[in-house]
Copies of this chain bind each other. A is one copy, B any other.
Amino acid sequence: MSRTIDIDAYAEGVLAGHRPTLARAITLVESRRADHAELAQQLLVRLLPHSGKAHRVGVTGVPGVGKSTFIDSLGSLLTGRGHRVAVLAVDPSSVRTGGSILGDKTRMARLSADPNAFVRPSPSAGTLGGVARATRETMVLMEAAGFDVVLVETVGVGQSEVTVAEMVDCFLFLTLARTGDQLQGIKKGVLELVDVVAVNKADGPHQQEARRAARELSRALHLLQPASPSWTPPVLTCSGLEGTGLDEVWEQVLAHRAALEETGELAELRSRQQVDWMWAQVRDRLLESLRTAPRVRELAPRLEEQVRSGAITATLAADRLLSAFTEASRDG
């Protein structure tokens, strides 16, 4: 991107669904250069009115659950029905390692070759907050380019699932039945985010144990208060490999959307997500500037040690850190 960036041309190209321009626009949004960031915001403000028409669906599950195969199959099913499908990812491990869950496009062989699909790997650098921002803004570009289904993949690590749940309409959780009647241990907290659950790899000899696992999980979910009064998460079985049960999963995604639309919850959810995200960015950046302030960095390890050993109270230590930060801001 050494050439001058023509925002008008970018906007027109994206709206026309021109793939090379879309790819360049995404690279602009992912860039961490300050001048790019400003241009990206100009482009996004231009495209915002043309966004918002897609089904935004998050897909999570631990490594090995078969997410890529599931998305490859589901995405192909949907393009076969005339949908245009974008696949994005939020992958915190790529943040650390520079690798990416979607870096290897051969993992979604069919979809990667599908002219009605667009598979984009997770931005491979930056904080989770930065990756989340790029992914959300890429979603705007995708929708403006006419993609009407956006699948956001994530792995069950740290905060990434909450981050994805906060940017989609429907959060789909894939899990496995294990041999010996045991469900794969479900990460705590994930059950409170899910809208649809599918026990994957329900194929061949595993069908029965998958159905048993689905029943058990369904009972467990009924013990929890539902997130929305108009929706209780259903638990299905499917096989990404054989393509079975995907129809039923998608039907439930649509039923969930219909339930939220009927009550007005969908519009409210989306605008609340935007406002929450504004505040999340404010908080993240403020706390980032706290963490990285030289005086705070110098002081923090010593104070942590003193708090650990009980030499001072946590309140007193907090006072000192805040004073150091406030003074640093004044001088800065």
When all copies of this chain in the complex are counted, the total is: 2
Query: Measured between alpha carbons, how far is A217 from B221 in the docked complex, in Å?
Result: 11
How many angstroms from the CA of A313 to the CA of B286 in the assembled complex? 18
Of residues 286 to 323 in A, which have CB atoms within 8 Å of B's CB atoms?
A: 286-287, 290, 303-304, 307-308, 310-318, 321-322
Choice from B41, B191, B321, B322 contacting A188 with Cβ under 8 Å: B191
| Closest chain B residue to A321, Cβ basis | B282
Contact of A316 among B45, B188, B216, B321 (CB under 8 A): B45
Contact B220 A45 (CB under 8 A): no
Q: Say which size band chain A's interface belongs to.
A: 35 or more
Tell me if B287 and A307 are in contact (CB < 8 A): no
Closest to A227 in B: B188
A241 at the interface (CB under 8 A from B): no
A161-203 contacts to B, CB under 8 A, are 183, 185-189, 191-192
The one of B44, B275, B317 in contact with A313, judged by C-beta atoms closer than 8 angstroms, is B44
How far is it, in angstroms, between the C-alpha of A187 and the C-alpha of B189 when the chains are bound? 11
CB within 8 Å for A290 and B281 given contacts A41-B313, A220-B223: no
Does A225 sit at the interface, judged by CB under 8 A?
Answer: yes
Is A81 close to B, CB under 8 A? no
A281 with B318: CB separation less than 8 A: yes
Q: Identify the interface centre among A192, A217, A224: most chain B CB within 10 Å of its CB.
A: A224
A312, chain B: closest CB distance, angstroms: 6
Can you list 30 pairs linking A and B with CB atoms under 8 Å apart? A41-B316, A44-B315, A45-B311, A48-B312, A48-B313, A49-B310, A140-B313, A183-B223, A185-B223, A186-B224, A186-B225, A187-B224, A189-B192, A191-B191, A216-B223, A217-B223, A271-B307, A275-B308, A278-B307, A278-B314, A282-B290, A282-B318, A282-B321, A283-B287, A283-B290, A285-B322, A286-B286, A286-B322, A286-B325, A330-B330
Please report A residues at the B interface, Cβ cutoff 8 Å.
41, 44-45, 48-49, 51-52, 133, 136-137, 140, 183, 185-189, 191-192, 216-217, 219-220, 223-227, 271, 274-275, 277-279, 281-283, 285-287, 290, 303-304, 307-308, 310-318, 321-322, 325-326, 329-330
